[in-house]
Structure 1
Amino acid sequence: MRVAIIGTGYVGLSTGVCLSEIGHHVTCIDIDEQKIKQLRIGISPIYEPGLEDLLANNIAAERLRFTTSYKEGLELAEIIIIAVGTPQRDDGGADLSYLEKAAKDIAYHLKQNTIVVIKSTVPVGTNEYIKKIMEEHCRKNISFEVVSNPEFLRQGSAIQDTMQADRIIIGSENKEAAEKVREMYSSLNIPVIVTSTRSAELIKYASNAFLASKISFINEIANLCESVGADVIDVAKGMGKDKRIGEAFLYAGIGYGGSCFPKDVKALLHTAQLNKINFSMLEQTIAINNDQQALLVKKALIRFGSVKGKKIALLGLAFKPETDDMREAPSIKIARSLTQLGAEVIAYDPVAINNAKKILGDIIQFASSVHETATNADAIMIVTEWKEFKDLEVASLIKIMKHPIIFDGRNCFNEDRIRACDIIEYYPVGRPAIVKGMDNERTTSL
Structure 2
Amino acid sequence: MKIAIAGTGYVGLSNAILLSQHHKVTAVDVIQEKVDMVNRKESPIVDDYIEDYLAHKDLDLTATMDGDSAYREADLIVIAAPTNYDTETNHFDTSAVEAILSQIQRVGSKAIVVIKSTIPIGYTQEISAVYPDLSILFAPEFLREGKALYDNLYPSRIIVGIPKGKEALRPEAEKFAALEQEGAVRENIPVLITGSSEAESIKLFSNTFLAIRVAYFNEIDTYAEEKGLKTADIIKGMGYDPRIGDFYNNPSFGYGGYCLPKDTRQLLSNFEGIPETMIRAVVDSNETRKSFIADRIAARNPKKAGIYRLIMKSGSDNFRSSAIQGVIERLKNKDIPLLIYEPSYKGDSFMGIPVTKDLQQLKDECDIILTNREEKDLEDVKEKVYTRDLFTRD
TM-score (normalised: structure 2): 0.90
- Specify the code of the residue in structure 2 equivalent to 1:123: P
- Specify the code of the residue in structure 2 equivalent to 1:250: N
Give the Cα separation in 1 of the matches to 2:348 and 2:388: 23
Give the Cα separation in 1 of the matches to 2:170 and 2:296: 56
State the shift of 1:146 in Å: 1.5
State the shift of 1:236 in Å: 1.7
Give the Cα separation in 1 of the matches to 2:391 and 2:156: 28
In the alignment, structure 2 segments of 5+ residues that lack a partner are none
Partner of 2:271: 272
CA contact (8 A) 2:14 2:149 kept: yes
Q: Does 1:175 align with 2:170?
A: yes
Partner of 1:87: 84
Partner of 1:259: 258
Give the Cα separation in 1 of the matches to 2:376 and 2:149: 22
Q: Where do residues 37-436 of structure 1 align in structure 2 (5 Å cutoff)? A: 37-57=36-56, 61=58, 63-89=60-86, 90-112=88-110, 114-135=111-132, 138=133, 144-172=134-162, 173=167, 174-187=169-182, 188=184, 189=187, 190-273=189-272, 276-304=273-301, 307=302, 310-349=303-342, 352-354=344-346, 357=347, 360=350, 362-369=352-359, 371-383=360-372, 385=373, 387-389=375-377, 392-393=378-379, 396-397=380-381, 404-411=383-390
State the shift of 1:3 in Å: 1.3
Partner of 1:423: none
- Specify the code of the residue in structure 2 equivalent to 1:377: C
Q: Where do residues 12-51 of structure 1 align in structure 2 (5 Å cutoff)? A: 12-20=12-20, 22-51=21-50
State the shift of 1:348 in Å: 2.5
CA contact (8 A) 1:326 1:352 kept: no
Match of 1:300, SS? helix
Q: CA RMSD in A?
A: 2.3
Give the Cα separation in 2 of the matches to 1:32 and 1:353: 19
Give the Cα separation in 1 of the matches to 2:349 and 2:93: 22
- Specify the code of the residue in structure 2 equivalent to 1:378: D
- Specify the code of the residue in structure 2 equivalent to 1:406: V
Match of 2:313, SS? coil
CA deviations over 1:240-298 (Å, ceiling 9, x no partner)? 2322223332112211111110000000000011xx11221111111111121233321
CA deviations over 1:107-146 (Å, ceiling 9, x no partner)? 111343x3111101111221122222322xx5xxxxx521
CA contact (8 A) 1:254 1:294 kept: no
State the shift of 1:157 in Å: 0.9
State the shift of 1:43 in Å: 3.3
Match of 2:209, SS? helix
Give the Cα separation in 1 of the matches to 2:148 and 2:332: 34
CA contact (8 A) 1:4 1:26 kept: yes
CA contact (8 A) 2:307 2:338 kept: yes
- Specify the code of the residue in structure 1 equivalent to 2:389: R
Query: What percentage of residue pairs aligned between the two structures are identical?
Result: 30
CA deviations over 1:3-61 (Å, ceiling 9, x no partner)? 111111221112112221x3221111122233323332233332222323322445xx4
State the shift of 1:376 in Å: 4.1
- Specify the code of the residue in structure 1 equivalent to 2:34: K
Larger Rg: 1
Match of 2:93, SS? coil
Match of 2:298, SS? helix
CA contact (8 A) 1:5 1:27 kept: yes
CA contact (8 A) 1:74 1:109 kept: yes
CA deviations over 1:65-101 (Å, ceiling 9, x no partner)? 1111223212442211011111111232111111111
Partner of 1:433: none
TM-score (normalised: structure 1): 0.80
- Specify the code of the residue in structure 1 equivalent to 2:177: R
Give the Cα separation in 1 of the matches to 2:351 and 2:109: 47
CA deviations over 1:305-333 (Å, ceiling 9, x no partner)? xx4xx121222320111111111112222
Q: What is the aligned length?
A: 383
Match of 1:4, SS? strand
CA spacing shift, 1:53–1:269, aligned 2, 3 Å:
same
CA deviations over 1:371-420 (Å, ceiling 9, x no partner)? 3321142212223x16435xx53xx425xxxxx4432232367xxxxxxx
- Specify the code of the residue in structure 2 equivalent to 1:287: D
